[in-house]
Amino acid sequence: MRMKKLTVFYLLFFFTIAVTLSYVGCSEVENNLAPAPELGIHPPGWADTTSAASKSSADFHGQYIYDNNAWNLTQCKSCHGNDYKGGTTGSSCLTCHTSSGGPQNCRLCHGGASGHSNPPSALNGSNEISTLGVGVHVYHLDSTKYSAPVECNECHLPLEGGFNSPNHLGDNPDGIAEIVFGTLAQTPTPGVTPAPVWNRETATCSNVYCHGDFEIGNNAAAPVWTDPNSVKCGSCHGDPVTGNPNPRPGGLYSHWEGLQITNCYVCHGTVINPQGVIYNKDLHVNGQVNYRPDYRSVMIK
């Protein structure tokens, strides 16, 4: 009696294994027919969105893309279609990625904090200014203190064509944004033609017009991308220790020792008010000195 039951059990057991094996074998064959050799069958957990932990598992597709710099989604498109609607798989990305552009939506991989595509968040999910990918994007773009928002393409190449622009990810993305300065950072002034440099090791910019590389500015200033306190009134022109913005005496006629912040408006009244507050950020750090044409006739006691 007991023997018989066991035999039946073993028969069932081996039958199940045989079926499982042939099924796995078949689906492997099926997947081998698909055009992208890089990926086999998706692992379990690939689409498990139930928790933060499941989404940060190495098997989750978002994490896979991050870990393997598969950012241009070329692999995925080879099976799921260029429109992400499923292609040969019949399995659409757009059921979950419902924002415009689907998985190409700018804020899926970076940005989002203020509805913008610049970090935070960074590619690694960090929102900390001390992270290279985050840095002081916000101070340049979302809550500017001293100027109008700085265009992306003053620091990055323009992305005509959006996500698929060759300037964005290219064929072999490395997960590191490229810094290529635009015209503002290179604004020439008499005797100074800035050649801006981004140093990733020290996270500093130097030789940038915007931060002082102009005729009577602080030409050696090297603000730190990950430290907002490295820029203040006086760090680009004037005295960074006291915060006095008064530029080095020099230039044509203007600026002498003893000039007060409450004097600036007399000549630069379209930019700064009598209290010494920059009220028109659009005209500050815009590549032009804005001053009254009859400044020579101005008398300041």
Kindly identify the residues of this chain, within the stretch 32-61, that bind ligand HEC according to CB under 6 A: 34, 36, 39, 41-42, 46-47, 49, 55, 61
Please state the closest distance from residue 12 (CB atom) to ligand HEC, in A.
27
Please state the closest distance from residue 126 (CB atom) to ligand HEC, in A.
7
Q: How far apart are CA 280 and CA 236, in angstroms?
A: 18
Cα dist. 300→33, 125, 281 in Å?
A: 82, 53, 25
With binding defined as CB under 6 A, does residue 217 bind ligand HEC?
A: yes
With binding defined as CB under 6 A, does residue 216 bind ligand HEC?
A: yes
Which listed range, 1-9, 17-25, 252-260, lies at the site for ligand HEC (CB under 6 A)? 252-260
Return the ∠ at Cα 216 (arms to 214 and 222), rounded to 5°: 55
Size of the site for ligand HEC (CB under 6 A): 116
Which listed range, 8-16, 18-26, 133-141, lies at the site for ligand HEC (CB under 6 A)? 133-141
* Residues between 281 and 300 with contacts to ligand HEC, criterion CB under 6 A: 283-291, 295, 298, 300
Q: How far apart are CA 127 and CA 109, in angstroms?
A: 13
Q: How far apart are CA 137 and CA 153, in angstroms?
A: 13
Q: Which residues contact 293 (CB under 8 A, 6 or more apart)?
A: none
* Residues between 138 and 157 with contacts to ligand HEC, criterion CB under 6 A: 140-141, 146, 150, 152, 154-156
Please state the closest distance from residue 293 (CB atom) to ligand HEC, in A.
9
Binding ligand HEC (rule: CB under 6 A), the pick from 122, 196, 207, 222 is 122
Q: How far apart are CA 138 and CA 301, in angstroms?
A: 40
Cα dist. 289→141, 147, 157, 244 in Å?
A: 22, 13, 26, 18
With binding defined as CB under 6 A, does residue 252 bind ligand HEC?
A: yes
With binding defined as CB under 6 A, does residue 137 bind ligand HEC?
A: yes
With binding defined as CB under 6 A, does residue 31 bind ligand HEC?
A: yes
With binding defined as CB under 6 A, does residue 117 bind ligand HEC?
A: yes
With binding defined as CB under 6 A, does residue 96 bind ligand HEC?
A: yes
Q: How far apart are CA 212 and CA 263, in angstroms?
A: 21
With binding defined as CB under 6 A, does residue 65 bind ligand HEC?
A: yes
With binding defined as CB under 6 A, does residue 274 bind ligand HEC?
A: no
Other beta carbons less than 10 A from residue 205's beta carbon: 22
Smaller CB separation from ligand HEC, 7 or 193? 193
- Judge whether 130 and 226 are in contact, CB under 8 Å: yes
Burial class from Cβ neighbours inside 10 Å (0-12, 13-18, 19+) for residue 97 reads middle
With binding defined as CB under 6 A, does residue 222 bind ligand HEC?
A: no
